[in-house]
Amino acid sequence: MTTDATTSLRWGILSTGRIAHAFASHLPASRTGRLVAVASRATEPAEAFAAECRAAHGEVRAHGSYAALLADPEVEAIYLATPHPQHAEWLVKAARAGKHVLCEKPLAVNFADAEAALAEAAASGVTVREAFMYRCHPQTAAIAEAIRGGKIGDVRLIEAVFSFDVGETRTGRLVENDAAGGGILDVGCYTMNLARSLAGAARGEPFAEPRGLAGQAFVGDTGVDEWAIADADFGGGLLAQLRCGVRLKQDGPQLRVTGSAGSLVAEQVFIPAREGGEAGFDLTTDAGTERVTAASERALYGLEADAFAAAVAGEASPLPTPADTLGNMAALDRWRDAVGLRYGIETPAKYRSTRVGGEPLAAGSRIPSVTLAGVAGRVSRLVLGCDNKNHLAELAPVADAYWAAGGNAFDTAQVYGKPRSKALGDWLAHRGVAAEAHVICKGAHSPRCHPSQVGVELDLQLGWLGLDACSFYFLHRDNPEVPVGEFVDAVDELASAGKITGLSGGSNWSLQRVKEANAYAAANGRRAFTAVSQNLSLAVMVDPIWGGCVTAHQPDWLAWLEETQTPNFAWSSQARGFFAAGRDLDEAEVKRCWVSEDNLERKRRAVELAEKKGCDAINVAGAWVLRQPFPSFALIGPRQVSELHSTLATLDVTLTDEEVAWLDLR
């Protein structure tokens, strides 16, 4: 951080709790910040807080609502100090109001909300940082430098502790489940942040992510972790043990780092010299123990305000970057998963009724949709894959953003497992959009690829989804040893029973077997294959990703699809990132499945065309799939809202017939 950062900021403090008072009391120590306004949810507490601040800050306006603070034109930066279940919503609202945001830790209750909020902030062009104030004291930099410089040799073990005893209270944000209370999110977040930071320093990186993470906790009768531990494996022999608690005071140093040539011990690392002054740690090697000190005459939150101003100015700052914050949130999710802790506000019974930014969900129109004969309503050309989210709170931010962009079709499969179908079913019910959505179900995947399993598996999956029927059904694999008519009969029976309301067919079937199925259907008055779900991407699949996969990027398949105008729902429509900038083409699966001389030339042409069109090559590749001369739908699998945003850029790419052919080497 540049200590004399030239960026000055006019601050507004959103909320009037204890941490807000601490920030306000330290802001005069900042070299860059000036407090101009505060806000509460009511006028009286806002006025009281403003009056308290005026002695040190001069004129400070009081706003009786958070929205009024965000509308204040003089405010440039928001210190977001609400309880953390409200962080994501007000971060998004502040970003949309054009305010930079210093958000108290943790940035959100879980990774999904944090990522969605940061994606919205990035789209708004504002700076956001998570307020780990300990990172701003020079002691923290000195510890990292000692590790980075090899003072204790190769780091073997990081032990971090932040724990206290709140007493016997059974109410309040620290101990209530609905307030996302407990040790992991309140103070465990510090220990995880520090361990990741120091593991990164040991490797010359800003941070590192644990490869393995195990955890245990005591969950009390209020439903929160009262004390917890985590064991993290950063690889290469570097381990970490983290301890936290809200009902357990743990004595001893907050940080101990043991290396191959010594150790580092800091008694107080998370709140060093709060009001300004000296902090230090002991560095022990074979030469003895050295006391290393670091001092600042400024109060801790004043340092934090200046660190944030540096970030706004584009200068180096010790505060976590958004990528660092998301890594920490993901690790905290893993810690909670390890101890089996989910908050009530993450479950269908209590999950919020709005999007992450507080607005109601409404269908948009950016994603184009079409009508298909035999299907009620329009179907979006981009279909959201639901194979990677295990519960409602994980899925909702991405599904909400997809629906708000105009998407209404969801790809599922029995083989993906109950949690993933149930997550979608919970979302459809919770958002009240099941009647407007189109759900693809798939079944009879190997090794249960047999007509006898078709109805059994669809009933099972519909139960998970909470639906009576699906709009589309695909046989997920083919079993050539079974007469094709038996599969056709099984699907026809489900459609006759009203369990398939739209189209059906095969996924990963050979063209010959599809033709045989349709011939049997025509001869026996059965339901034909009216749609398929084959792999189709600009890159031709060289080797099947999984056993039994079939690509439609073959001359006979493409000719048949155009001739019959059969809809294809293309999975791996972007060749699993083959066209993405910076994609490691030496990665084993990518190299095996996608790397060939022809595909490398296709990628080169996509890059060339993207440069001319001012977009990314992966968007050109996506546009190629949508531009086929038959009803072509692209299955997309964004894990995050930011990934969805980048995928939607595909819709802005227009390709001519000549460009479509040229990209495919024709």
Q: Which of 131, 154, 171 is the last residue of a domain?
A: 131
- Would you give the DSSP letter of residue 291? E
Which residues sit opposite 505 in a β-bridge?
Answer: 474, 531
Q: What 3-state class would DSSP assign to 461?
A: helix
Instruction: Name residue, tokens 């009803």.
Output: 631
Listed residues 131, 162, 192: the one ending a domain: 131
Residue 252 confidence (pLDDT): 93
Element housing 379 (H / E): strand 378-380
Asked if the structure places residue 59 within a domain, the reply is yes
pLDDT at 70 over 50: yes
CATH number, position 27: 3.40.50.720
Q: Residue 318: CB partners within 8 Å, gap ≥ 6? A: 1, 135, 136, 140, 141, 307
Is the pLDDT confidence value at 3 over 60? no
pLDDT (tens digit per residue) in 129-188: 999 999 999 999 999 999 999 999 999 999 999 999 999 999 999 999 999 999 999 999
Strands 155-163 and 128-131: unpaired
How far is it, in rounded angstroms, from Cα 76 to Cα 125?
13
Residues 167 and 120 in one domain: no
- The answer to whether position 532 is within a domain reads yes
Is 179 within a domain?
yes
pLDDT tens-digit series, residues 450-500: 999 999 999 999 999 999 999 999 999 999 999 999 999 999 999 999 999
The H-or-E segment that residue 328 falls in is helix 322-339
The verdict on whether omega for the bond into residue 210 sits within 30 degrees of 0, i.e. cis, is no
Q: What is the pLDDT of residue 527?
A: 98
452 and 475 fall within a common domain? yes
Tell me, yes or no, whether 278 and 236 share the same domain: yes
- Do 14 and 141 sit in the same domain of this protein? no
The predicted-structure confidence for 635-665, as pLDDT tens digits, reads as follows 999 999 999 999 999 999 999 999 999 999 9
Range of 268's domain? 135-298+318-343
Q: Are residues 416 and 293 in the same domain?
A: no
CA distance linking residue 550 with residue 533, whole number of Å: 10
Asked if 475 and 504 sit in the same domain, the reply is yes
In three-state secondary structure terms, 229 is strand
Which distant-in-sequence residues (6+ apart) come within 8 Å of 61 by Cβ?
36, 37, 38, 50, 72
Classify residue 331: in a domain, yes or no. Answer: yes
Using DSSP, state whether 452 is helix, strand or coil.
helix
Rg (CA), the chain: 28
* Same-domain check for residues 285 and 160: yes
Q: How far out from the chain centre does Cα 529 lie?
A: 36
Q: Are residues 262 and 410 in the same domain?
A: no
Angstrom distance (rounded) from CA 137 to CA 502: 62
Q: How far is CA 139 from CA 154, 269, 478, in A?
A: 21, 8, 63
Rounded to whole angstroms, how far apart are CA atoms 511 and 532?
10
Please give the share of the chain, as a percent, with pLDDT higher than 90. 99
Amino acid at the residue 2:
T
Angle of helix 641-648 relative to helix 392-404, nearest 10 degrees, comes to 20
What pLDDT does 1 receive?
A: 31
- Total-model pTM: 0.96
Residue range 373-378: average pLDDT?
97
Helical (H) or strand (E) element with 371: strand 369-371
Give the Cα separation of 560 and 630 in Å (integer).
10
Listed residue (380, 404, 436) closest to 632, CA to CA: 380
Backbone angles phi, psi at 526, to 5 degrees: -105, 170
For the residues 563-572, what does the mean pLDDT come to? 98
CATH code assigned at 637:
3.20.20.100
Side chain identity at 54, as an amino acid letter?
Answer: R
Task: Work out the number of other CB atoms within 10 angstroms of the CB of residue 126.
Answer: 21
In a domain, 618, yes or no: yes
Domain identity same for 588 and 573:
yes
Contacts of 188 (CB under 8 A, 6+ apart): 162, 228, 230, 242, 244, 332, 335
Which CA distances in Å does 204 have to 99, 198, 294, 370? Answer: 33, 10, 22, 51
The predicted structure's pLDDT at residue 4: 43
Q: What is the DSSP string of 536-601?
A: --SS--SS-SSTT--BS-SHHHHHHHHHHT--EEEBTTTGGGTTSTT--TTSHHHHHHT--HHHHH
The string of DSSP letters for 55-94 reads HHHS--EEESSHHHHHH-TT--EEEE-S-GGGHHHHHHHH
Residue 200 near residue 352 (C-beta atoms within 8 A): no
Cα gap 568→557, rounded to integer Å: 11
Sequence-separated (6 or more) residues with CB below 8 Å from residue 73? none
* Block residue for tokens 């999975």: 571
What's 175's domain CATH number? 3.30.360.10
Pairing of strands 239-245, 255-259: unpaired
End-to-end CA distance of the chain: 54
Alpha carbon distance 142, 497 (integer Å): 70
Token code pair at residue 113: 């909300």
46 part of a folded domain: yes
Report pLDDT for 6: 53
Q: What is the mean pLDDT of the chain?
A: 97
Say which residue the tokens 């905290």 belong to: 332
Residue 181 falls within a domain, yes or no? Answer: yes
Instruction: Determine the average pLDDT of the residues in 409-428.
Output: 98
- 212 neighbors 233 (Cβ within 8 angstroms): yes
Report the distance separating Cα 471 and Cα 469, nearest Å.
Answer: 7
Do residues 122 and 154 share a domain?
Answer: no
Residue 38 phi, psi (nearest 5): -135, 160
Domain's final residue, options 105, 131, 157 = 131
Per-residue confidence band for 5, with pLDDT thresholds at 50, 70 and 90: very low
What's the CA gap between 258 and 152, in Å, rounded? 7
- Number of domains present in the structure of the chain: 3
Are 177 and 72 members of one domain?
Answer: no
Which distant-in-sequence residues (6+ apart) come within 8 Å of 310 by Cβ?
1, 2, 5, 7, 316, 317
| pLDDT tens per residue, range 184-231 | 999 999 999 999 999 999 999 999 999 999 999 999 999 999 999 999
Q: In degrees, to the nearest 5, what angle opens at C-alpha 69 toward C-alphas 63 and 70?
A: 160
- Do residues 175 and 58 share a domain? no
How many other β-carbons are positioned within 10 Å of the β-carbon of residue 446? 15
What count of residues does the chain have? 666
CA–CA separation, 442 vs 463, rounded Å? Answer: 14
Pairwise CA distance, residues 226 & 201, whole Å: 30
For residue 167, being part of any structural domain is answered with yes
* Helix pair 138-148, 189-201: axis angle to 10 deg: 40
